[in-house]
Amino acid sequence: MDPQVKDITLNGETRSSRAQSLSELLVELGVNETALVAELNGSIVPQTDFTSTGISAGDTIELVRFVGGG
């Protein structure tokens, strides 16, 4: 197995990723959005820190954003 490939849990689902950082993960997912925020293993990561925030095997990541609501 490619050592760069690791399993992570993203938004409740397990998936394999080669991304080394949250910003690389967005590129891998094809997500090209502003006004996002992440939770990495329960800690909040603002989008400005996505590039400097690394990802390891087994990480639990939530990627959230604003939608319509009342």
Partner 1 sequence: MSNLQETYARTDDDPLLLGGRVLKSRLFLGTGKLGREDLIPELAHVSGAQVITVAMRRVDLSSRKGNILAHVPDHMQLLPNTSGARTAEEAVRIARLSRACGAGDWIKIEVISDAANLLPDGYATAKATEILAKEGFVVLPYINPDLYVARDLVNAGAAAVMPLGAPIGSNRGLQTKEMIRILIAEINLPIIVDAGLGAPSQACEAMEMGVSACLVNTAIATAANPTRMAAAFALAIASGRAAHLAGLGRVLDKGSAASSPEEGRLTAFLET
Contacts with partner 1 by CB under 8 A lie at 10-12, 29, 31, 33-37, 39, 44-47, 62-70
| Residue (1 or 32) nearer to partner 1, CB | 32
CA dist., res. 14 & res. 41, Å (int): 14
| Residue (3 or 12) nearer to partner 1, CB | 12
- Please tell me the number of Cα atoms within 13 Å of 57 on its side-chain side: 6
Least distance between partner 1 and beta carbon 25 (Å)? 11
Least distance between partner 1 and beta carbon 3 (Å)? 25
CA dist., res. 42 & res. 68, Å (int): 24
Residue pair 62/39 in contact by the 8 Å Cβ criterion: yes
Least distance between partner 1 and beta carbon 13 (Å)? 9
